Structure 1
Amino acid sequence: MKEGLRQSMAWLHTWTGLLAGWILFLVFCTGTASYYKDEITLWMKPEVHQSMARQVAPAAATANAVAFLEQRAPKSDRWIITLPSEREPTLRTMWAPPPADPARQGEQRPRRARFGNATLDPATGEELAAARATRGGEFLYRMHFDLHYMPVIWSRWIVGICAMFMLVAILSGIVTHKRIFKDFFTFRPAKGQRSWLDAHNASAVLALPYHLMITYTGIVTLIFMYMPWGVKAVYQDERDKFFTELRQEVAIDPKASRVPAALTPLQPLLAQATAAWGEGDVGRIVVSHPKQTNAAVALYRRDGKQMSVDQPAMVFDGVSGVLVSPPEPAAAPAAQTQGVMIGLHAARFSSAALRALFFVAGLAGCAMVATGLILWAVKERQKYAKALAKGGRVGFGLRLVDGLNLGAIAGVPIAIAAYFWSNRLLPVGLAERPAMEAAWFFGAWGTAAVLAMARPSRRMWQILLAVGGVLFAGLPLLNLLTTGSHLGYSLSHGLLQIAGFDLVVLVIGIGLLFAAKRMGNSRMNKVNKVNKVNDPAPVLASGGAA
């Protein structure tokens, strides 16, 4: 190799970052939003905001949920009850669909069998029927690793490969920049390529530990899919058995007995779990084979009490109420490590302040990816400086990258904002409403991408950034016009989750509008002429690229 180590690492950093950059920008944007997926879901269900002020004891909420499920899903093989919390004040229930034919009980149910679900008022147990159907923040959460409209296995492989490229890009970037920490304190505004390089360095170093952690743990989250050979060699097709043994879980009979038996009252079980963990620490209740002789009740501790995503559970016999597993099972070291890795990635353990810090670090990741993509285009454009000065055109490859940059960096915010707008504008009772909200997301993104590819110019950057800014900044106004839980109401009544959403999207919208304004800044146009970089990428004036 004629080049030195740093030159080789620079090449590796450039191409691993560029080839995966557009998907990584989508993953970072939707993953960052997912830190507040519960709050997003709550905002997207304005009909339940009135129930937020009611404080209901867990035992009463559990009794209401059981009464509802006994009436709605008496033949289901599994009930799932999610108790109210500060971030999610409603009572959520889910149930597995009953088997179509009792004679086929031994057959395995399709993995994607659709669960029923209902959101209840925890005080009364009545279904909030008026609440609009929406996937809320869950859509964005799933988007960042499952994508959409394609098989899940394909999506996870695509995202996983991009994450591996990301890890290589981060490590090679550290080797490449020998003055990486010194450069963090250097910013040269209105200097074209230098400004983009400084912005890229700053956004990368600002949250470097976070970037390393979130990328590595993202890969580890699906490590058994990417490297299945060890499990396959020992367990063959019994993957469920592997995970049960890994976490030392109590095995629950997967087959229903179909012999009727009364379900034990859940309130005493809840009291035992409360005594072991503390008041209000039970987050989820899973009842397997309810009202049958082999019924089992599992109570899971609420997220936020430990770093691992694997919360301890207490499993009871569903007929006698006898405890059949300890409240704190001693998981194997490997299982504990994996649980902590996934917990770090999802940040479900975090306090409000730490979650906000994760959110800011995620935004820095979005900026890092965006500035890296634009920096490549700016550097490549210098090769065409003389041709551009004579009225020529750039090559196909650069024009393609310009279009992809514009379609991703300006298009993804438009898509996310359109998703929120659809929640308020689509009829509440519309059939397949969640699917229509997703269609708005992709429709808006597709439109922006087509415009970006057709004309990847500075003017188009300005237009699309402005559109995204107007959509985001207009969400609080839309909320005011379509619901009663507008910003003034939410602030005065202590609905901090709703007010926080409105304020954050307002700030994001103002930031996008600021960027769009800088695109038309005459001073920057003069700077670009001096630098002979006639690029369509957004050079954000003296304020830099953020």
Structure 2
Amino acid sequence: MKNGFRQSMAWLHTWTGLLVGWLLLLIFMAGTASYYREEISRWMRPELPRSSVSSEVAAERALTFLQHKAPQAESWNVTLPDPRNPAMRMFWRNPESMVKPPVEGEKRRRGGGRFGDATVDPGTGEEVAARETRGGDFFYRLHFDLHYIPVYWARYLVGFCAMFMLVAIITGVITHKKIFKDFFTFRKDKGLRSWLDFHNVSAVMALPYHAMITYTGIVTLMFMYLPWGVNVAYPKDEDAFFSEAFARLADIDTPSEGRAAALPIQQLLDAARAEWKGAQVGGFTLYHPGAANAVIDVYQRDGKRLSVDTPSLRYDAVSGALIEASPLSGGATQTRGVMYGLHLARFADWGLRALFFVSGLIGCLMVASGVVLWAVKERPKHAKSGKIGFGLRLVDALNIGAVAGLPIAFAAYFWGNRLLPVQMAERADAEVNVFFYAWAAALLAAFIWPKRLMWAWQLYLGAAMFMLIPVINALTTHAHLGVTLRTGDWVLAGFDLMMLAFGAVLAYCALRMQRWQPALSAAEKKKRQAAAAAAARAQESANVEANA
């Protein structure tokens, strides 16, 4: 620990940032991609239709499909299409009597056969035979579940990193007493000074976003990190706490009774919209379909609401009578819902979502430049001794493998989506494995040879892989730029164009890294100046002798 408050904060800022910097970069990159997880999922399932029908028509076709697909199910859940997700997603729960024990030697289905799901074209009401993939949901889960690691430990690890990130932000503000002046200062080709300026600019440019996304990220998992209050108040039924605290409707657990025809779904959706004064319906859950005591829960669509908690209404599906509405939230619940909503940004329109995305990219640059800056500062100390220590070599390898290697992994994930066989078993898991295999290869190469050229090679590889994604897309699907630009499908076209843009940026970074020469230390500058002066004096003496 250094003497003096600001020096102590600088020391704390350096080490809290460095110790979790590489994992934070993964979290930031995956979280930033999650702002467009619906669009990524749609690109990764090019078979999905681009239908445009009213929610009433889509709901009627969903019920028709479910009546044929799962007529004996205990409940049906339908997510209606919206501008970001044009297909309908539906789930159903079968009664326990229908669940068959697994055949010996056969892999048990997820959910044990109790649950079913389907993706349906709202325009035709037919199931879509789309490729199996986790799509953008993989990045969303990755940024707080980390994959391969038990969820419980992964979320604690992410929370630990988030706390370190929050400390790094606060100490960074304290350390830089001229923080706003630093925002307008960037000295090019000045070695360590340039890296420090870049780190300062990327930190200050989106500082409110960085503080908000870090703090709200911790809030999203606060009941996991601080469960004791819930355990004391609800020792035997935590679900009751979440139903009461988050203003949710309780699940229906009564058995079905008799048979009766439900009201037309359009009438029930119209009643919900009237109750919400015109707000759109996002989906519904029908309990005991076809029974005399059938009940339907109608959910409001995520839209302009800042809070992640959306209202819901429960109707008698046979008579249409309103049974109950989700209770009003208290102040604490509303605050938590707003913070959660800020973190997810589901409320954002295209412009605000783009601003969140750019701010996330700036956060990635801030973390990346921070871990690189430590290595740049340490290298002159090791140069004096003429030996690169283990710590610096380790940081160099991790920097290359994370900063340059992660883009390779992201691009490989999209390559896997297009190149793996469509009917491949466990295809979604295979795509995820491609991501981690590519990242592991980049890390291994960095550890074998953590040199400047390895930076350039990996950045060039990432650039090539991103720029080839639209080409591979054109060779393997009919949803390529030649079609999407002509038909105005800007979700798919925008994805391909962004891949080209990311590739171009990585290629520029690779070129800069290839041509970059480290700045000379003060001692080396003096040594070269003395040598140049001696050479000049020798040349002058030679000229005098020649003239004599």
TM-score by length of 1: 0.90
State the partner residue of 2:541.
none
Between the two proteins, the alignment pairs up a number of residues equal to 516
1:394 is matched with which residue: 384, 388, 395? 388
**For residues 175 and 87 of structure 2, what CA distance do their matches in structure 1 show?**
50
State which drifts further: 377-386 or 347-356: 377-386
Distance change (3 Å), C-alpha of 1:167 and 1:180: same
Structure number with greater CO (CA < 8 Å, separation at least 6) is 1
Query: Does the CA contact (< 8 Å) of 2:279 and 2:300 recur in 1?
Result: no
Give the distance between the partners of 2:406 and 2:270, measured in 1 at CA: 47
Q: Quote the offset at 1:194 in angstroms.
A: 0.8
CA distance in 2, matches of 1:499, 1:476: 9
**Equivalent position of 1:525 in the other structure:** 517
Letter in 2 for 1:152: V
1:528, 1:260 → 2: CA distance? 86
Q: Does 1:38 align with 2:43?
A: no
Counterpart residue identity of residue 460, structure 1: M
Could you say if the C-alpha distance between residues 457 and 59 of structure 1 is closer, same or farther in structure 2, counting changes exceeding 3 Å? same
Greater shift, 293-302 or 85-94, is seen at 293-302
Tell me the equivalent position of 1:304. Answer: 303
In the alignment, does 2:411 pair up with 1:417?
yes
Q: Contact conserved, 1:289 with 1:295, CA < 8 A, in 2?
A: yes
Identify the match of residue 513 of structure 1 among 507, 513, 530: 507
Contact 1:256 1:289 in 2 (8 A): no
CA distance in 2, matches of 1:362, 1:205: 13
Q: Which amino acid aligns with 2:423?
A: G
User: In structure 1, what is the Cα distance between the partners aligned to 2:347 and 2:88?
Assistant: 21
Match of 2:497 in 1: 503
Q: 2:348 aligns with which of 328, 350, 370?
A: 350
Find the structure with the greater CA-based Rg.
2
1:280 deviates by: 7.3
- One-letter code aligned to 1:496: W
**Aligned position for 1:271:** 270
Q: Distance in 2 between matches of 1:283 and 1:375?
A: 47
Contact kept, 8 Å, 1:65 with 1:125, in 2: the verdict is: yes
Q: Which amino acid aligns with 1:383?
A: K
The alpha carbon displacement at 1:66 in A equals 1.3
* Distance in 1 of aligned mates of 2:379 and 2:236: 53
Q: In the alignment, which residue of structure 2 is the partner of 1:240?
A: 239
Task: Supply the AA of the counterpart residue of 2:36.
Answer: Y
How far apart, in 2, do the equivalents of 1:249 and 1:47 lie?
35
Equivalence for 2:192:
193
1:307 is paired with a residue whose SS is coil
Shift of 1:329: 4.0
Deviations 1:44-75 (A, max 9, x none): 11112xx31x3212111111111222222233
Question: Residue type of the partner of 1:59?
Answer: E
Which shows bigger deviation, 277-286 or 451-460? 277-286
Aligned to 1:335, what secondary structure does the other structure show?
Answer: helix
Cα distance, 1:275 vs structure 2:
2.4
* Residue 441 (structure 2) pairs with residue 447 (structure 1): yes
**CA–CA separation in structure 1 for the residues paired with 2:80 and 2:524:** 61
Say which is worse superposed, 197-206 or 68-77, in terms of deviation.
68-77
Q: What is the 5 A alignment of 1:279-428? A: 281-292=280-291, 295-326=294-325, 329-388=327-386, 393-428=387-422
**Unmatched tracts of structure 2, length 5 or more:** 101-108, 526-548
**Matched residues in 2 for 1:186 and 1:427: separation?**
51
Alignment of 1:457-496 (within 5 A): 457-496=451-490
The DSSP-based 3-state class of the residue aligned with 1:46 is coil
Q: Which residue pairs with 2:132 in the alignment? A: 133
For the residue of structure 1 that corresponds to 2:209, the secondary structure is: helix
Q: For the residues of structure 2 that align with 1:93 and 1:138, how far apart are their CA atoms? A: 16
% same residue: 54
SS at match of 1:324: strand
3-state SS in 1 of match to 2:322: coil
Change over 3 Å in CA distance of 1:529–1:473 after alignment to 2: farther
Secondary structure of residue in 2 paired with 1:45: coil
Over 3 Å counting, the alpha-carbon distance change for 1:425 and 1:4 in structure 2 is same
Q: Counterparts in 2 of 1:142-157, with a 5 A limit?
A: 142-157=141-156
Distance change (3 Å), C-alpha of 1:531 and 1:222: farther
Deviation at 1:527, TM superposition (A): 4.0
Shift of 1:249: 2.9
Q: CA deviation at 1:322?
A: 1.9
In the TM superposition, what is the alpha-carbon distance from 1:503 to its structure 2 partner? Answer: 1.1
Residue-by-residue CA offset, 1:220-270 (whole Å, 9 max, x unaligned): 0000000001111110131110011113333233x3515443462322111
Deviations 1:437-484 (A, max 9, x none): 111111111111111111111111111111111111111111111111
Find the partner of 1:90 among 83, 87, 92.
87
Contact 2:301–2:310, Cα closer than 8 Å, also in 1: yes
Q: 1:194 to 1:232 in 2, by over 3 A?
A: same
Give 1:70's match in structure 2, choosing from 67, 91, 109: 67
SS at match of 1:230: helix
Q: Within 2, Cα distance between the matches of 1:263 and 1:444?
A: 55
Report Cα offsets for 1:163-202 as digits up to 9, x if no partner.
Answer: 0110011001100111111011100111111111111100
Counterparts in 2 of 1:133 and 1:182: CA distance versus 1, 3 Å: same
Which SS does the other structure have where 1:126 is aligned?
Answer: coil
Aligned residues of 2:305 and 2:347 also touching (Cα < 8 A): yes
Over 3 Å counting, the alpha-carbon distance change for 1:531 and 1:29 in structure 2 is farther
Helix, strand or coil at the partner of 1:300:
strand
Give, in whole Å, the separation in 1 of the partners of 2:111 and 2:140: 18
CA contact (8 A) 1:187 1:198 kept: yes
Are the counterparts in 2 of residues 309 and 339 from structure 1 also a CA contact under 8 Å?
Answer: yes
Cα contact 2:299–2:313 (8 A) shared by 1: yes
Could you tell me how far apart the structure 2 residues matched to 1:191 and 1:99 are? 69
Residues 1:127 and 1:386: Cα distance change in structure 2 (over 3 Å): same
Deviation per residue, 1:281-311 (Å, 9 max, x gap): 1112122343445543211111122100011
Please give the secondary structure, in 2, of the residue aligned with 1:93: strand
CA distance in 2 between partners of 1:376 and 1:184 (Å): 20
- For the residue of structure 2 that corresponds to 1:474, the secondary structure is helix
CA distance change for structure 1 residues 285 and 100 in 2, over 3 Å: closer, same or farther? same
Question: CA 1:402/1:268 → structure 2, altered by over 3 Å: closer, same or farther?
Answer: same
1:97-176 correspondence to structure 2 within 5 Å: 97-99=94-96, 115-129=115-129, 131-176=130-175
Q: TM-score, normalised by structure 2?
A: 0.90
**Greater shift after overlay, 397-406 or 272-281?**
272-281
| Structure 1, gaps ≥5 residues long | 104-109, 534-546
Q: Is the 8 A contact 1:414 1:468 kept in 2?
A: yes
Q: How many angstroms apart in 2 are the aligned matches of 1:229 and 1:526?
A: 53
**Contact 2:256-2:294 within 8 A present in 1 as well:** no
In 2, Cα distance between equivalents of 1:417 and 1:445: 10
The alpha-carbon distance between structure 1 residues 353 and 179, as it changes in their structure 2 partners (threshold 3 A), is same
1:13 corresponds in structure 2 to: 13
Q: CA deviation at 1:526?
A: 6.4
The secondary structure found in structure 2 opposite 1:525 is coil
When the two chains are superposed, the root-mean-square deviation of aligned CA atoms in Å is: 2.3
